[in-house]
Chains A and B, each alone.
Chain A
Amino acid sequence: MILKGKTWKFGDNIDTDAIIPARYLNTSDPKELAKHLMEDADKDFPSKLKAGDMIIAKSNFGCGSSREHAPIAIKAAGIQAVLAKSFSRIFYRNAFNIGLPIFESEEASEKISEGDEIEIDADKGRIRNITKGEEYAAKAIPPFMQELISSGGLIEWTRKRMKA
């Protein structure tokens, strides 16, 4: 899987209230949630996004609540991947479970600037910064998580297992 897109940069400890404020959790409609992605940090953020853009963050991305609305809103807004130094553990499993590609790379998180165009080779764990002409390594995705992704998420994985 090759993912290519422009980047938006965020800092440390981006919590799920920042990603999608709780006041919008009276719905789980992905389109509705996507309209409010990161709006407390930047009200116009959803309208600036283009399909295929990526989020680059520092450490502990997605900390706070267990709301799956956070990765859902990111995905529905057209973001195709999130790259960070580290992820909070619930966000990490939620992203895999719903099929939002995420990558951990300290180097990429440091060196990519906002607006850089990057290309991620998900299978090889390589990140190429097209704008800067640099290349970084992402942490390998554990085999079980790869199995989840290739099944099409946890629900499909469970469905197949129950049939077997």
Chain B
Amino acid sequence: MTITEKILAAHCGRKELSAGELINAKVDLILANDITAPISITEFKKIGAKSVFDKDRVAFIPDHFAPQKDIKAAEQCKLLREFSREYGLSLYFEVGRMGVEHALLPEQGLVVPGDLIIGADSHTCTYGGLGAFATGVGSTDVASAMATGECWFKVPESMKFIYYGKLNKWVGGKDLILHTIGDIGVDGALYRAMELTGEVISSLPMYARLTMCNMAIEAGGKNGIMAPDTVTEQYVKGRAKREYKFYSSDKDAKYVEVKEYDCSKIPLTVSCPHLPSNTKPAAELSLVTIDQVVVGSCTNGRLEDLREAAQVIKGKKVNPNVRMIVIPATQQIYLDSMKEGLAEIFVNAGAVFSTPTCGPCLGGHMGILAKGEKAIATTNRNFVGRMGHPESEVYLSNPAVAAASAVMGRIAVPDEVV
């Protein structure tokens, strides 16, 4: 069996499982945010359950339009707050303690290897980087699971990706996953588990693993997953709030398709408008001028991401024609950025250093684009109107490319600046 099949089997009391089966499985953690939880709350109340299945396993995180951007958003956040109080949820994260959900939960050790996690947010697949099965579902799925502690799944076929060779300078997890999506397309892994393997993955630090699994959904994947190892052990040791278990795929596990990538041939990669699969080498895009740069999000808002951007922009200035917005994904990352002097580097360069929020990534607030404007962002989607006006454009990149572009006022590679 594959790692995905093993985790699903373990959560529905089965020894064997194969792709295509429909199962009802127990979930270890359920999450929803200020956009998706309000519907979950309404639907949960229709079920008529007196309590949630486990008060310590339902996480409500207002992060999308929080800090509350307008009255309607404030009303939505209020629903989460009041429900959490009424039902005694221990995992409600108020503004000031919250962070971007998919950065916050791993950081706090609330999602651990071997878990089965569902979230009413498509980027829930991020936690595959820890060796967990995690997938995005809808608000109604969450409502049902809040009552029962279970969710229905079709066991996905697994698709194996093998990354080998030496990474080029400045190339990281973001480039690998953008390159992969560019290769297979936005539905290249539709309904499938994306198992990311190989010597390059084994040597990737945790933040880059989370970045890669985060974007499995952009290839249509049900989940992205990596076998846990010593890097995982180092990361979860001391932070895991629950017991964890390492699973790995058997040698004779079945894969519907295998893809191999020689990483020495993968350049710094940018997704051009309006699909994540529309990838080009960053170096070929130097004629694209930009108005805004965003460094942050559940994809690239972790401390190491900010360090990469800071390394490029240190001592330089943001181009006069550019607005640069840096958003640490959690309060801890914010604090660490202050202690390490990263916040100072960004502010001295002329960038904004913001409180945690998903904000601009989905065109919510904190950096919306006007008609005709272009942004390069370390976020995960560049659909039409994603960051604002339907006639604005978003280019996706890693943090170092985004920072270099902020300095140059056009899409640039870090070596042009550093």
Do A and B truly interact? Answer: yes
Q: Which residues of A contact B105 (CB under 8 A)?
A: none
Q: Which residues of A contact B235 (CB under 8 A)?
A: none
A113 interfacial contact with B, CB 8 Å? no
Contact between A26 and B76 (Cβ–Cβ < 8 Å)?
yes
B122 interfacial contact with A, CB 8 Å? yes
Q: Which residues of B contact A15 (CB under 8 A)?
A: 381, 383-384
Q: Which residues of A contact B22 (CB under 8 A)?
A: 142, 144
Stretch in contact with the other chain, from B80-88, B138-146, B349-357, B407-415: B138-146
Give chain B's interface residues, CB within 8 Å of chain A.
22, 35-36, 38-39, 42-43, 46-49, 64-65, 69-70, 72-73, 76, 119-122, 124, 136-141, 143-144, 147-148, 152, 154, 186-187, 190-191, 217, 220, 222, 275, 362-364, 381, 383-386, 390
Q: Which residues of A contact B220 (CB under 8 A)?
A: 60, 63, 88-89
Closest chain-A Cβ to B53's Cβ sits at a distance in Å of 10
Per-position contact with B for A142-161: 1 when CB-CB < 8 Å, else 0? 10100000000111011101
Residue in A18, A28, A60 with the greatest tally of chain B CB atoms within 10 Å: A28
| Closest residue on chain B to residue A17 by CB atoms | B383
Contact between B138 and A94 (Cβ–Cβ < 8 Å)?
yes
Q: Which residues of A contact B386 (CB under 8 A)?
A: 17, 22
Q: Which residues of B contact A47 (CB under 8 A)?
A: none
A131 interfacial contact with B, CB 8 Å? no
Q: Which residues of A contact B275 (CB under 8 A)?
A: 13
12 CB < 8 A contacts A-B: A27-B76, A41-B384, A60-B190, A64-B122, A66-B121, A67-B138, A89-B220, A90-B122, A97-B144, A98-B140, A142-B154, A144-B22
Contact between B190 and A155 (Cβ–Cβ < 8 Å)?
no
Contact between A93 and B137 (Cβ–Cβ < 8 Å)?
yes
Contact between A67 and B364 (Cβ–Cβ < 8 Å)?
no
Closest chain-B Cβ to A88's Cβ sits at a distance in Å of 6
Contact between B141 and A22 (Cβ–Cβ < 8 Å)?
no
Contact between A88 and B121 (Cβ–Cβ < 8 Å)?
no
| Closest residue on chain B to residue A157 by CB atoms | B144
Contact between A154 and B144 (Cβ–Cβ < 8 Å)?
yes
Q: Which residues of A contact B138 (CB under 8 A)?
A: 66-68, 90, 93-94, 97-98
Q: Which 6 A-B pairs have the closest CB atoms?
A: A26-B72, A94-B138, A60-B187, A40-B390, A22-B362, A97-B140
| Closest residue on chain A to residue B358 by CB atoms | A22
| Contact residue among B47, B76, B119, B141 (Cβ-Cβ distance under 8 Å from A97) | B141
A25 interfacial contact with B, CB 8 Å? yes
A52 interfacial contact with B, CB 8 Å? no
A21 interfacial contact with B, CB 8 Å? yes
A157 and B43 alpha carbons, distance in the complex (Å): 12
A59 interfacial contact with B, CB 8 Å? yes
Q: Which residues of B contact A142 (CB under 8 A)?
A: 22, 154
Contact between B362 and A162 (Cβ–Cβ < 8 Å)?
no
| Closest residue on chain B to residue A15 by CB atoms | B383
Contact between A18 and B191 (Cβ–Cβ < 8 Å)?
no
A48 interfacial contact with B, CB 8 Å? no
Contact between B39 and A23 (Cβ–Cβ < 8 Å)?
no
Contact between B362 and A60 (Cβ–Cβ < 8 Å)?
no
A41 and B383 alpha carbons, distance in the complex (Å): 12
Per-position contact with B for A21-39: 1 when CB-CB < 8 Å, else 0? 1110111100000000000
Q: Which residues of A contact B143 (CB under 8 A)?
A: 154-155, 158
A105 interfacial contact with B, CB 8 Å? no
Contact between B140 and A155 (Cβ–Cβ < 8 Å)?
yes
Contact between B191 and A155 (Cβ–Cβ < 8 Å)?
no
Closest chain-A Cβ to B274's Cβ sits at a distance in Å of 9
| Contact residue among A26, A41, A65, A161 (Cβ-Cβ distance under 8 Å from B122) | A65
| Closest residue on chain B to residue A87 by CB atoms | B190
Contact between A94 and B73 (Cβ–Cβ < 8 Å)?
no
A82 and B138 alpha carbons, distance in the complex (Å): 18
Q: Which residues of B contact A27 (CB under 8 A)?
A: 72, 76
Q: Which residues of B contact A144 (CB under 8 A)?
A: 22, 152
| Closest residue on chain B to residue A158 by CB atoms | B144
Closest chain-A Cβ to B165's Cβ sits at a distance in Å of 30
**Contacting residues of chain A (111-164) with chain B, CB-CB under 8 angstroms:** 142, 144, 153-155, 157-159, 161-162
A62 and B363 alpha carbons, distance in the complex (Å): 18
A97 and B49 alpha carbons, distance in the complex (Å): 18
Contact between B148 and A22 (Cβ–Cβ < 8 Å)?
no
Closest chain-B Cβ to A9's Cβ sits at a distance in Å of 18
A155 and B381 alpha carbons, distance in the complex (Å): 31
Contact between B186 and A26 (Cβ–Cβ < 8 Å)?
no
A67 and B385 alpha carbons, distance in the complex (Å): 16
